[in-house]
Amino acid sequence: MTDPAAKLDAPPRKMSRETRRQQLIEATIETLALRGYASTTLTEVARTAGLSHGLVNFHFETKEKLLAETLLFLSEEYRLNWQTYLQAAGPTPAAQLHALLRADLDPAICRPSRLSAWLAFWGEAQGRPMYQARAGVNDETYNTQMEGICARLIAEGGYTGSPIRIARIIRLTTEGVWLDMITMRAPYDVAESQATIYTCAATFFPRHFGPDGLA
C-alpha cells in the first residue's frame, strides 16, 4: 500500500498506471479530509497530488468515478486490516473480539485523514446509494463476523442478550470514538479511546473484558 506521506513528494515522470491511480486516491483522501465531499473536485485533487487536472481526468474521467474508487479503496483497506487482526488472534471468541477492537484503532486505519474521509462519505446523503453499492458487502461481512463472535462469547460465558444488538452497540461505540477523535476541539488520546471501547465490551462481557482489554 502506498505511503500517504509520499504522495506529496515530486513524483517520477513515469509511473505504472496502478501506482498513479493509487497516488490520486491518496490525494483524494487528503482532499476530502481538508475540504469535505462537496468541495472535493478533480482540480483540488490534482493540486494536492501535484499533478495536472488532465492527468486526473485521464485516470478517472469524472469526480463521481474518482470518489467511488476512493470509497472502494477505503472499504477494502478496512476489511483487510480487521481480517489480518482476526487471523492472528487465538481461537477463543474473547481473543477474536479483542482483535477486532484493536484493529479499529490501528494507526493505518485510525488517523485523521482516513477518519475525516469516512466522515465525508457518511455525511453525504447523496453518497449513500454509492456507499451501499461499493462498500455495503464489506459492511455485511464485518457485521456477520462480529455477531458470530458475540454469539459464541455469550454461549461460552453464560451471558444474556442479543448478539446482533450487542455487536451493533460495540460497533456504534467504535464509530462514536472515531467521531470524537476528529470533531472534538481537545480529543482524548488513543489510550482513552481504547479504554472507552473496552469498557463497552466489558458491559456485556464483564468476565472477559475490562477497561484495559482482556480480563
Looking at the structure, do residues 52 and 87 belong to the same domain, yes or no? no
Span of 43-57, 138-152, 172-186 with lowest mean pLDDT? 43-57
Could you tell me if 100 and 196 are in contact, meaning their C-beta atoms sit under 8 angstroms apart? no
DSSP of 51-79: --HHHHHHHHSSHHHHHHHHHHHHHHHHH
Model confidence at 94: pLDDT above 90: yes
The H or E element spanning position 210 is strand 209-210
Span of 31-35, 41-45, 50-54, 104-108 with lowest mean pLDDT? 50-54
| C-alpha cell recorded at residue 143 | 457485521
CB atoms within 10 A of CB 115: 19
Point out the domain boundary residue: 45, 61, 77. Answer: 61
Point out the domain boundary residue: 18, 41, 61. Answer: 61
Mean pLDDT of 20-43: 90
Model confidence at 20: pLDDT above 70: yes
Model confidence at 11: pLDDT above 50: no
The dihedral region occupied by 213, where left means phi > 0, alpha psi between -120 and 50, and beta the remainder, is left
- Residue 128's pLDDT band (cuts 50, 70, 90): low
Q: Give the CA radius of gyration of the chain.
A: 19
- pLDDT tens for 163-194 read 999 999 999 999 999 999 988 877 888 899 99
Looking at the structure, do residues 44 and 74 belong to the same domain, yes or no? no
Enumerate the H helices of 36-162 as residue ranges: 42-49, 53-60, 63-88, 93-103, 112-122, 128-157
Could you tell me if 165 and 106 are in contact, meaning their C-beta atoms sit under 8 angstroms apart? no
Looking at the structure, do residues 118 and 136 belong to the same domain, yes or no? yes
What is the CATH classification number for the domain harbouring 51? 1.10.10.60
Mean pLDDT of 105-114: 92
Looking at the structure, do residues 56 and 77 belong to the same domain, yes or no? no
pLDDT at 129: 73
Domain range for 45 is 1-61
Looking at the structure, do residues 92 and 42 belong to the same domain, yes or no? no
- pLDDT tens for 152-161 read 999 999 999 9
- Residue type for 135, please? A
Length of the chain in terms of residues written:
215
How is residue 161 annotated by DSSP?
S
Looking at the structure, do residues 56 and 104 belong to the same domain, yes or no? no
Q: How far is 1 from 182, CA to CA, in rounded Å?
A: 24
Looking at the structure, do residues 123 and 173 belong to the same domain, yes or no? yes
- Residue 9's pLDDT band (cuts 50, 70, 90): very low
Span of 17-21, 52-56, 129-133 with lowest mean pLDDT? 129-133
Q: How far is 127 from 40, CA to CA, in rounded Å?
A: 13
The SS3 assignment for 209 reads strand
Q: How many domains does the chain have?
A: 2
Looking at the structure, do residues 29 and 83 belong to the same domain, yes or no? no
Looking at the structure, do residues 185 and 96 belong to the same domain, yes or no? yes
Could you tell me if 99 and 170 are in contact, meaning their C-beta atoms sit under 8 angstroms apart? no
Model confidence at 132: pLDDT above 80: no
